[in-house]
Chain A
Amino acid sequence: GQNIDQPTEMTATEGAIVQINCTYQTSGFNGLFWYQQHAGEAPTFLSYNVLDGLEEKGRFSSFLSRSKGYSYLLLKELQMKDSASYLCAVMDSNYQLIWGAGTKLIIKP
C-alpha cells in the first residue's frame, strides 16, 4: 500500500532551526510537496521537489532523496508564526496527492 510517515509533533525554540522528516512508499512518484497549514485554514503550498537535492526558498529549504524515499523540510530562524502543521504529500503515478498526517510544530519563546 501507499504510505507517508512524518512525526506527529515537534517542539522548537524561536530563532532556532528545525528539520521535519518525511518518508514515503508510493506507487510511482511525480514529486513531493510540503504544505503549511494553520489551524482552521486550508494548507498553503511551501515547496515542490521532483529531483534529488536541496531546494532553498528563504528561511525554508526542502530536500529529496528518491532512492531512499525520504524528504525533509528545514526551517531556519524560527518565528512564532511558524507554529503550524506541516504536511508532506507525494504525487503518485496517477497524479493524485498522497498525504501524510502532518507534523504539528510548536514554537516556544
Chain B
Amino acid sequence: GAVVSQHPSWVICKSGTSVKIECRSLDFQATTMFWYRQFPKQSLMLMATSNEGSKATYEQGVEKDKFLINHASLTLSTLTVTSAHPEDSSFYICSARDGTGSSGGEVDTQYFGPGTRLTVL
C-alpha cells in the first residue's frame, strides 16, 4: 500500500534555530503534497499546498517566509520552520495526493505521513 514517511518523527530545538522536516511518498508519485499543523484536541489545519516544481500556496495567516516549503520532486517535500519560537511547537503532518493512481489505490486519495512533533525550547 501507499506509504508516506516523515523525518524526523520528533525534534527538540532551541528558540531561534531552524528545523527542516522531510515528507516522502515511498511507493508512489505525489503530484501534490500538503502540510498540516495540529494543535491538541483540534482538527488538522492546512498550512500550505505544494505542487511539484512550483511555489507553494499558503493558507491565509500562514507566514510563507517563516514556513519554507520546497517540493523538488514527485516524492519529496520539505518544510523548514525558520527562526523557531516556542509558539511554533506543534504536531506537523504532511499528506501526499496520488493524482495518477500510481499507488495502486484510487486516484486523488490523500495518504498521510505519521507526523513530526516539534518542541521549541
Please indicate whether A and B come from the same complex rather than being unrelated chains: yes
Q: Does B111 contact A (CB under 8 A)?
A: yes
Q: Which of A42, A91, A102 contacts B43 (CB 8 A)?
A: A102
Q: Does A3 contact B (CB under 8 A)?
A: no
Chain B 106-121, CB within 8 Å of chain A: the 1/0 string?
Answer: 1011111111000000
How many interface residues does B have (CB within 8 Å)?
Answer: 21
Q: Is the CB of A42 within 8 A of B108?
A: no
Q: Is the CB of A33 within 8 A of B110?
A: yes
In the bound complex, CA of A30 to CA of B108 (Å): 9
Contacts of A100 in B (CB 8 A): 43
For the residues of A in contact with B, the DSSP-based class is loop
Closest 7 A-B residue pairs measured CB to CB?
A: A42-B115, A101-B43, A42-B112, A42-B93, A99-B43, A42-B114, A102-B43
Q: Using a CB–CB distance below 8 Å, which chain B residues touch chain A?
A: 32, 34, 42-44, 46, 49, 91, 93, 95, 97, 99, 106, 108-115
